[in-house]
Structure 1
Amino acid sequence: MTTASRLPDPYTSGSGASLADILERVLDKGVVIAGDIQVNLLDIELLTVKLRLVVASVDKAREMGIDWWEEDPALSSRASRREDGRRTEELQARNERLESRIAALEAAAGGRGEAAT
């Protein structure tokens, strides 16, 4: 009785590259996946979706000039602190403007003999 020949299993350890090796290579080199989806009705474009996916390590992304996560307050504590500092400065400036307006209104009301509320 003969046995049917079996094709080699691509996921066995004898394949030469493990999943970790493949992932390391992809992250080291980087992979770009790009595609466009268009929805047309009677030659009228209703919707266009442009997809761009980059899979790379952080170091490789920086080499490519991609560092948007460093400026996003939701993803970077440093950017979040900068955003909080900017908001604090804006609120302080607004508070000073409001206080100066109140002081001017009180001075104008005091000159007319009216009580300020």
Structure 2
Amino acid sequence: MTTPSRFPEPYGQGSGANLADILERVLDKGVVIAGDIRINLLDIELLTVKLRLIVASVDKAKEMGIDWWETDPALSSRARRDELTRENAELRERLARLEELALEPGRRTRAPKEAP
């Protein structure tokens, strides 16, 4: 005759669920955790912090329309190159405009020297 155990069996010992299965389910379906923290003093709201956390695989996130990491220069080398290319083009345009202004008749081509 066996007596029932007082404590549940830990995961991995007959329960059928292990960490890999749980992680696969979470990444496949995605998990959203949302919460707000509000600090009030005498019915005056001093601070509100909104927390949103999404845990999902890259493929699932793209399915949901979330792909901000692809355009963030801190996370994507392609985005960094695109930003540098854009900045370089803007600087070239500014330089061309300045050169045109400097070459217009009646304008000084050099800045006046400061008195000692």
User: Could you say which TM-score interval applies, normalised by the shorter chain?
Assistant: 0.7 to 0.9
Structure 2 unaligned spans of 5+: none
Matched, 1:77 2:70: no
* Structure 1 residues 108 and 29, CA gap change in structure 2 (3 angstroms): closer
- Give 2:98's aligned residue: 98
| TM-score normalised by length of structure 1 | 0.80
CA drift at 1:22: 0.6
Higher helix share: 1
- Give 2:22's aligned residue: 22
35-44 or 17-26, larger mean C-alpha shift? 17-26
Residue 49 of structure 1 aligns to a residue whose secondary structure is strand
* Structure 1 residues 15 and 77, CA gap change in structure 2 (3 angstroms): same
- Give 2:34's aligned residue: 34
Q: Distance in 2 between matches of 1:13 and 1:101?
A: 79
Q: Distance in 2 between matches of 1:13 and 1:78?
A: 46
Q: What RMSD over aligned residues (CA atoms) do the two structures have, in Å?
A: 2.4
CA drift at 1:97: 1.3
Q: Distance in 2 between matches of 1:109 and 1:81?
A: 37
87-96 or 8-17, larger mean C-alpha shift? 8-17
Matched residue type, 2:34: A
- Give 2:43's aligned residue: 43
Q: Distance in 1 between matches of 2:88 and 2:21?
A: 47
Q: Distance in 1 between matches of 2:17 and 2:11?
A: 9
- Give 1:55's aligned residue: 55
Structure 1 unaligned spans of 5+: 111-115
How many pairs were matched up?
109
65-74 or 95-104, larger mean C-alpha shift? 95-104
